Structure 1
Amino acid sequence: MNTPTDPVATVVAAALAEDAPWGDVTSEALLPEGAVAHAELRAREPGVLAGTAAAVAAFGQAAALCGGALPRCEFAPDGTRFAAGDVLGRVSGTARAVLRAERVALNLLQHLSGIATLTARFITAVDGTGARVVDTRKTTPGLRVLERAAVRAGGGRNHRWSLSDAVLVKDNHLAVLLAEGVDVTTALRRVRERVPHTTSVEVEVDRLDQLEAVLAAEPDVVMLDNFSLEDLAEGVRRVRASSRALVEASGGVRLDTVAAIARTGVDLVSVGALTQNARTLDLGLDVEVAAPGAATTGVLR
């Protein structure tokens, strides 16, 4: 899913250092240096796969730490839908390296596949409405690259990446302006003058009576936060009548409410639950230790 490789490598290196700061004392004391392990990633429940780039990085970095050759990794692509019992990947390499990376790789695969699986359920729920489901900045610190790639693997879209790459004026910003006696429309127009013309400007409102002043500043996106369904539909109508701005619904969106929200006519539905509430998926990595030179059999399905 076009996951940037350098941030992934950084996350994996930190995880491996946390899990084995002075090496894997069990494997180093117990296993012959030349022993080879073959590991098979198998699904124990249905879902959508994500996190394979991190898994490959974990096995590769562990091999380098153990002084062995790079392992052979074969995984189904991120975004693959699978059933319980499906084989999703195989890894062959030195046993010490495979076992050193096993928990880190599996933790990331389970967590990220959980996000992809939940995202896919939201996408199914809004099918036919024309609304796009997007994530938020409510990501695990340090894991944003991986979690947002998992959202894409599940069919979702990404919101702004960080505070640095788009303007999003939220309720707290507006509260400060009002406390300072600054006119909202004037302040938003000044934002346009201070950022490059390529920078998107989005403004959050939490009441219908705020829309007029915001729309007068011609934002690119209007976020309707924690609106009732009736007010969402009215907000969409008002924005469409006087603006070309996209309309985003946000706030407490759940799987059982997202379809009704999408049917109000909004363009975007932002869902913090995609990365905050996804449970880890049940995947197993079964390892078989064999003599050097042994080969794996079978195909991914």
Structure 2
Amino acid sequence: MTSARTTLLWPVSLALLGASMLAGVFWGTAAIGWADRWAILTGDADAPRSLSLIVWQWRLPRVLAVALIGAGLSLAGALMQTALRNPLADPYLMGLSSGASAAAVAMIIWAPAWIVAALGVPAAAFLGACAAFAITLGLSVRPGRMLSPLVVILAGVAVSLMFQSLTAFFLYLGDPQATRAALGWLMGTAAGTGWGDLPVPLVATAVVAAGALWRAGDLDMLLLGDERAAALGLRVAPLRLAIFAGAALLTGLSVALAGIVGFVGLIVPHMARLLTGARHRRLLPLAMLLGAVVLVCVDLLCRTLLAPEELPLGVLLALFAAPPFIFILRRVRDVL
């Protein structure tokens, strides 16, 4: 990579993130004129109160939430791909999305209203993701032996299938109205996100990112293989368990906040590698920036394409993910 390209990469990425977030805040189903946008942005007392409420209480928290989700899932995907040394690994590989889906659907369809009000669907989804992670890890760990990436993948597939079957069973037996609500949640949406939903994912993302950057050199060594990394003095098993725990935390929180948001954690890390290489000190921050940009832009399209109707995040992500994935596959197929 040329030095000029490296120099431009970060300011361009930051500018894209800022522009996409401004677009997400100021565009939507409610039309806001340029004069009103400026008045709202500067806190002018003459700004229309209703439009200020839309911007500051509805749109801005939602934009920040999807930016956090995109950054967190991209970070989790990059870490999982490193830990498992598998370019097709993503944050949901350990059955987290399936566990969260089963718990959320069960809460929506079967739980009494007072339980839903007390616990909430997001909390149930997070607990379901944690349960799936615990089961996958329990199936993968063998006393006295190093944790095998292949065993983790196979355990994750088995746990995913189990929870997917439970989800299908719940949907089949559920009331049609409740089933429709559950399907809407499963396809992903950040609608209704408020300021109170942001602190926990913000802190979790910051802590996991700081820890990953602190161990960036060790993550680079992990790509060499377990035996070579161990020969260099790296304690592979604790590092891999820490990666799994961090990725599970970020994924569980993102699922709890906005439902199942696929493809971001799989594709965005590859996009970042093509731009900056495989060194984690540069890769991880860029992956987080790109993940935030991608999800903010997709969420804006979900809100505006069929306004006043809103598309689920999963629909457009699946549609837009295919061309970049094919391009990335063509670039790396010789390596694979």
Give the TM-score category using the shorter length: under 0.3
| Higher strand fraction (1 or 2) | 1
Output the TM-score relative to the length of structure 2.
0.24
Structure having the higher Rg: 1
Greater relative contact order (Cα < 8 A, sep 6+) = 2
